[in-house]
Amino acid sequence: MAETTTIDLLSGWPAQSLFPTNELSSAAVAVLKIPETYRAGLNYGDDEGYLPLRQNLRKYLANFYTPERKASVDRVCITGGASQNLACILQVFTDPLVTRTVWIIEPSYYLAFRIFEDAGFHGDKLRGVPPDEGGVDLGFLETAMKQVESTPAETTQQPIKPCQPHRKIYRHIIYCVPTFSNPTGLIMPLSKRQELLQLARKHDALLICDDVYDFLRWPSRPGVEVKQATATLPRIVDLDILDDEKDATSFGNCVSNGSFSKILGPGCRVGWGESTPRFIHGLTQAGSTRSGGAPSQMMSTIINELFKENFLEAHIEKTLIPEYARRYALFLAAIKHDLYPLGFRLDESVINRETVGGFFMWLQLPDGIDCYQLAARAATHGVSFSIGPTTAVTRPLEVDLPFKNFIRLCFTFEEDHRLVEGVRRIALAAG
């Protein structure tokens, strides 16, 4: 059947056919039947979020990430998803007059940029860090941080936010997606994670890691099964735990921003934050949480039911991963068949890694066409995707926009035949 509607390779959305509607429906009924759970769910929640969900998450995250030291439950709080939590993190731990710069590891998740702008970080205060082969040019970052620190601030640097014991104002913020990056699919190597953390410690920076794709991983060779339900590499937040004493007293230098959006459904609006107990306590003292309780309280009680009999883990391992791995292989084959002969390329170091994952492919365009030209022509052929320059912080003085010979394609949202047809239409647009 001919596809008449625009094929959406732009939206970074999960497959709608994989939403676990039956289990969510049973979970909602179970919660609403029992006074203990519906009272908890329909009332204001604790600032830290629904305790049974925090406990289940703590166990699940420990099994998946296998950190050297198991996290205590006070390292985890419930959030309204990664976007909402990013805004809360900035509300509590930054001050636009004291925090000098927000550093974005580029190319990046572009919808985060406005969250930084809303918190007062734009222009010179929101800066990109270019990639190198390991995903981030740390030499550039260190030099630029030193430069900022040696330049006198334009203001008196008196904070505009009141000083509170739960708050620490960091001098810098570094934002990144270390595993299966949006948009590149890249996994930041362990050595870079360690160096980035050292840099953060040295310069009083908070590393905000959106760890939202970590669970969705599969072997790059089709047919090979995922052996164990464990992470590819340690999260930076796990590298930031030194010892009990530091963990109990320090704010630390990293927060992991987790989410159920990619593994259940974005409409759930539930996620989690993980960091030192002191940081997590501070985060849960954000004004909106003190007033309204933890966000998404009712949905937290419903999601908690999905930990029973390990449903959530089985859903990820037995439903999402095989299906996304299949779509990935199909999409990759279509790109190689239709677009490689025209000169399009994917990063071999990403697609040939033992483990691949996430939601996106980052496609380099052939010489002679840029992403603006291709997107305009693609629109007439009925296919959409996001274009490279949107993934970089705006650079008003630079004529040569970064990443203009790249596009980002999402392979999880559309069904098989539309994925293949979408690639065919890109080929037509480029031809």
Ligand X SMILES: Cc1ncc(COP(=O)(O)O)c(C=O)c1O
| Binding interface with ligand X (CB under 6 A) | 12, 81-83, 109, 177, 182, 210, 212, 259, 261, 266, 271
Give the residue with the Cβ less far from ligand X, 185 or 422: 185
Give the residue with the Cβ less far from ligand X, 79 or 276: 79
Question: What is the closest distance, in whole angstroms, from the C-beta atom of residue 81 to ligand X in the complex?
Answer: 3
Question: What is the closest distance, in whole angstroms, from the C-beta atom of residue 357 to ligand X in the complex?
Answer: 13
Question: What is the closest distance, in whole angstroms, from the C-beta atom of residue 115 to ligand X in the complex?
Answer: 9
Question: What is the closest distance, in whole angstroms, from the C-beta atom of residue 256 to ligand X in the complex?
Answer: 12
Question: What is the closest distance, in whole angstroms, from the C-beta atom of residue 384 to ligand X in the complex?
Answer: 16
Q: What is the largest CA-CA distance in the chain?
A: 65
Give the residue with the Cβ less far from ligand X, 267 or 343: 267
HEC profile of the chain: CCCCCCEECCCCCCCHHHCCHHHHHHHHHHHHHCHHHHHHHHCCCCCCCCHHHHHHHHHHHHHHHCCCCCCCHHHEEEECCHHHHHHHHHHHHCCCCCCCEEEEECCCCHHHHHHHHHCCCCHHHEEEECCCCCCCCHHHHHHHHHHHHHCCCCCCCCCCCCCCCCCCCCCEEEEECCCCCCCCCCCCCHHHHHHHHHHHHHCCEEEEEECCCCCCEEECCCCCCCCCCCCCCCCHHHHCCCCHHHHHHCCCCEEEEEECCCCCCHHHCCEEEECCHHHHHHHCCCHHHHHHCCCCHHHHHHHHHCCHHHHHHHHHHHHHHHHHHHHHHHHHHHHHHHHHHHCCECCHHHHCCCEEECCEEEEECCCCCCHHHHHHHHHHHCEECEEHHHHCCCCCCCCCCCCCCEEEEECCCCCHHHHHHHHHHHHHHHC
Looking at the chain, how many residues does it have?
431
Which amino acid is it at 414?
E
Interstrand relation of 254-259 and 172-176 (parallel, antiparallel or unpaired) = unpaired
Question: What is the closest distance, in whole angstroms, from the C-beta atom of residue 302 to ligand X in the complex?
Answer: 16
Give the residue with the Cβ less far from ligand X, 178 or 277: 178
Question: What is the closest distance, in whole angstroms, from the C-beta atom of residue 182 to ligand X in the complex?
Answer: 4
Give the residue with the Cβ less far from ligand X, 212 or 286: 212
Question: What is the closest distance, in whole angstroms, from the C-beta atom of residue 201 to ligand X in the complex?
Answer: 24
Give the residue with the Cβ less far from ligand X, 148 or 212: 212
Question: What is the closest distance, in whole angstroms, from the C-beta atom of residue 272 to ligand X in the complex?
Answer: 10
Question: What is the closest distance, in whole angstroms, from the C-beta atom of residue 261 to ligand X in the complex?
Answer: 3
- What residue has token string 């985890």? 76
Give the residue with the Cβ less far from ligand X, 9 or 177: 177
Give the residue with the Cβ less far from ligand X, 148 or 255: 255
Residues 6+ apart with CB under 8 A from 319: 18, 20
Q: How far apart are CA 409 and CA 329, in angstroms?
A: 14
Q: How far apart are CA 258 and CA 81, in angstroms?
A: 7
Give the residue with the Cβ less far from ligand X, 267 or 341: 267
Which amino acid is it at 239?
L
Give the residue with the Cβ less far from ligand X, 10 or 335: 10
Give the residue with the Cβ less far from ligand X, 13 or 140: 13
Question: What is the closest distance, in whole angstroms, from the C-beta atom of residue 277 to ligand X in the complex?
Answer: 23
